[in-house]
Each structure stands twice: as structure tokens, then as C-alpha cells.
């Protein structure tokens, strides 16, 4: 369900509403199959779906500010940054105002796919803060840094990621840019999301978090069986570092990250168990349960480690909890048999 809802949000964020609706419906169909429709998270997704597909007419720009809007549009359409600066200097008296920023906000509402509008809104704000010359110097420095970063493989991978508009494109991009599934790139993408949120760019933040969640799930899937202890610990720390931001944007993101943390910690716990480090395995499974208390496998795995340490009371409690969450799990019979044999 987390994968479907992530794809739904990704499609919606880039205007693919038909695809988004299909993914939402697949999410709800799966939730119904497993009797999960009444869960608060799923109900939240349903409210999100209803709001997304409700008609939202764009308010018209008031006639009395049309002239100012025309000046803004002309400024945005200047062919290069030198002419952009010259035009802004020419009309500074009317454009370096709170009214102009408000009109830019209206233009963004009416043209959500126009990437030049948020860029110019940020530039206008900086011009009001620093002055036109200083703000354009800052812009030129940022553009130069971006050009230099374009030579970096991780930066190239992130640039390609931001062009993804379908599951097929995502699969092709991951195949072409394996750096997207490396921890430094994931950490950089997390920093980009935090920066977008700090700049109050909510839709960009949501899009980046959607991409990030998909990549984190892919990373975890690749590293489920073979765990490199230090790298996996860093991965888990990265997951939890993103949670506070996700909670501010969408609690469903935070819930998905906590579930993913549970699975990642489960893999690390399995790694310790295979080494015979039962105490550390129990500690790790316990951490996993704190993030994902509805995951029955975590209780079964911890019960197995308690049995190894002959802590039968704790094992019995975990077996009972696992049975309440997932009564048909095949391993329950094995755990109960082992517990009964040791108790005898």
C-alpha cells in the first residue's frame, strides 16, 4: 500500500491525475482485501483522494492589479538575467513591493506547472531583502555552483530523478543512475527536501519526499539479506532524521518511514542473530518494534532470540503478541513448540 500511495502522490504532483487516480484505487482495493480500510492512515488517504479530485477553481486576478501583473509577466519572460535585472531596475518602484509578491503568488496558483514563477518569486523576495544588485550577484553565484554540480555523478542522478514522471521512467532512471541508491545521494536528496520546506515550497517538498521514500524502499529491499553493519546503521539514522520533516508535510509519509525503519532494523537484527549476538539482536528488534509496533514478524524474531537466551517468559509474551497480530503465520507453531519443549 505504501508503494501504491507513493506512486499516486508522485503522479499527482506532476499532473498525471489519471494515473494518480488509478494508483489511489489500487491502494484502497488492497486495503479492502486485507480489512484495513478502517485504519486511520487509510482513511487519511481517502480524504486526501477526495480533496485532490474535488474541483478547485483558480481565483481570477483582480482587474485593478492587471497592469502590475503584466509588468511581472514581462519581467519573467525577459530572455536573459542581464535584461531581467535591467527591467527590474526600471520598474523597481512598482515591482519591489508586497503587492507584486502577492500577485506572483496568484500567478503561481493559476499556473502551477510554470517553473519560472517560483524561481522569480524567490528572486523578487531576495531583491527586496538585499537590493537588486546583491540579489542578482547571489543568483549568478548559485547558477555557477549549479553548473559545476552538473558535472558530479550524484548531481546528474538527482537531476534525472526530478524529470521522472512515471513508474517506467523511475525504473529506467534507477538502472541508468545507480548512484541514486547510494547513501550520500539519499542524504543529499533529504537535504534538498528540507531546504524546499524551509523555503515554504510545499509541493516541491512533497514531490522530493515522494521520490525519497521510493528510493529508500528500494535501498532497503536491496540490503535486506546482506547487511553491512556500519552502512545499515547510517541508513536507519537517515530514515529517522527525515521523520520530523515528513510529519510536518504529511503524517502518512512519517508513518511509512517508521514502518520502513522497522524493516531496516529487522534486517540488522537478523544480521546480529546470524552472528550469534542474541543480546544485540533483541535490542535491535526492540528498536524496530518501537517504530513499527504492528509488524508481527518483529515479535516472532525477538521471541526466537529470547528462546536462545532461555528467557522463556519474554518469549511467551512476544509469541502471544505476534499471534494477535498475525495468527496464521507458519512460524508461530515452531516457536510454541520450542517454548513448550524448553518449559518441560
pLDDT tens per residue, range 52-86:
877 655 556 567 678 888 999 999 999 999 999 99
Mean pLDDT, rounded, of the chain: 89
Nearest 5°: CA angle at 8, between 3 and 12?
150
Percent of the chain scoring above 70 in pLDDT? 95
| Residue 324: burial class (beta carbons within 10 Å; 0-12, 13-18, 19+) | exposed
What pTM was estimated for this model as a whole?
A: 0.56
**Nearest one of 184, 183, 270, 266 to 218, comparing CA atoms:** 183
- Percent of the chain scored above 90 by pLDDT? 55
Cβ distance 335 to 304 under 8 Å?
yes
Residue 256: pLDDT band (50, 70, 90) is very high
User: Which residue in 14, 16, 24 sits closest to 51, CA to CA?
Assistant: 24
Q: What's the pLDDT at 59?
A: 58
Report H helices in the chain: 2-13, 17-33, 40-52, 66-76, 81-90, 92-95, 98-110, 116-130, 132-149, 153-161, 167-176, 183-198, 202-222, 229-249, 251-274, 278-291, 296-308, 312-325, 331-343
Asked if the model's pLDDT at residue 151 lies above 80, the reply is no
142 has a pLDDT exceeding 90: no
Q: Where are the domains of the chain?
A: 2-52, 63-149, 153-294
Tens-place pLDDT, residues 196-219: 999 888 888 998 999 999 999 999
Distance from the first to the final alpha carbon of the chain: 43
**Residue 291 binned pLDDT confidence (cut-offs 50, 70, 90):** very high
Q: Is the pLDDT of residue 100 over 60?
A: yes
Amino acid at each position: 500500500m505504501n508503494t501504491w500511495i507513493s506512486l499516486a502522490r508522485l503522479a499527482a504532483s506532476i499532473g498525471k491525475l489519471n494515473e494518480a487516480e488509478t494508483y489511489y484505487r489500487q491502494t484502497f482495493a488492497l486495503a479492502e482485501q486485507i480489512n484495513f480500510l478502517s485504519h486511520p492512515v487509510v482513511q487519511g488517504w481517502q480524504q486526501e483522494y477526495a480533496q485532490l479530485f474535488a474541483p478547485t477553481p483558480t481565483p481570477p486576478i483582480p482587474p485593478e492589479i492587471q497592469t502590475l501583473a503584466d509588468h511581472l509577466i514581462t519581467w519573467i519572460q525577459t530572455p536573459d538575467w542581464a535584461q531581467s535585472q535591467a527591467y527590474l531596475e526600471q520598474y523597481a518602484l512598482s515591482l519591489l513591493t508586497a503587492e507584486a509578491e502577492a500577485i506572483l503568488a496568484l500567478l503561481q496558483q493559476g499556473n502551477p506547472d510554470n517553473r519560472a514563477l517560483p524561481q522569480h518569486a524567490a528572486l523578487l523576495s531576495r531583491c527586496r531583502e538585499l537590493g537588486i544588485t546583491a540579489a542578482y550577484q547571489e543568483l549568478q553565484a548559485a547558477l555557477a555552483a549549479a553548473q559545476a554540480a552538473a558535472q558530479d555523478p550524484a548531481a546528474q542522478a538527482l537531476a534525472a530523478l526530478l524529470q521522472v514522471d512515471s513508474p517506467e521512467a523511475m525504473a529506467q532512471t534507477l538502472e541508468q543512475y545507480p548512484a541514486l541508491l547510494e547513501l550520500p545521494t539519499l542524504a543529499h536528496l533529504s537535504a534538498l527536501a528540507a531546504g524546499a520546506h524551509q523555503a515554504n515550497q510545499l509541493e516541491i517538498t512533497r514531490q522530493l519526499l515522494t521520490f525519497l521514500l521510493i528510493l529508500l524502499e528500494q535501498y532497503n529491499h536491496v540490503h535486506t539479506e546482506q547487511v553491512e553493519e556500519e552502512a545499515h546503521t547510517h541508513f536507519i539514522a537517515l530514515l529517522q532524521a527525515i521523520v520530523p520533516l515528513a510529519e510536518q508535510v504529511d503524517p502518512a509519509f512519517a508513518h511509512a518511514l517508521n514502518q520502513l525503519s522497522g524493516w531496516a532494523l529487522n534486517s540488522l537484527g537478523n544480521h546480529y542473530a546470524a552472528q550469534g549476538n542474541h543480546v544485540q539482536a533483541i535490542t535491535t528488534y526492540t528498536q524496530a518494534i518501537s517504530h513499527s509496533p504492528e509488524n508481527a514478524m518483529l515479535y516472532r524474531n525477538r521471541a526466537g532470540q529470547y528462546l536462545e537466551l532461555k528467557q522463556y517468559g519474554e518469549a511467551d509474551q512476544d509469541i502471544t503478541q505476534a499471534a494477535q497480530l498475525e495468527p496464521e503465520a507458519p512460524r508461530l507453531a515452531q516457536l510454541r513448540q520450542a517454548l513448550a519443549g524448553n518449559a518441560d
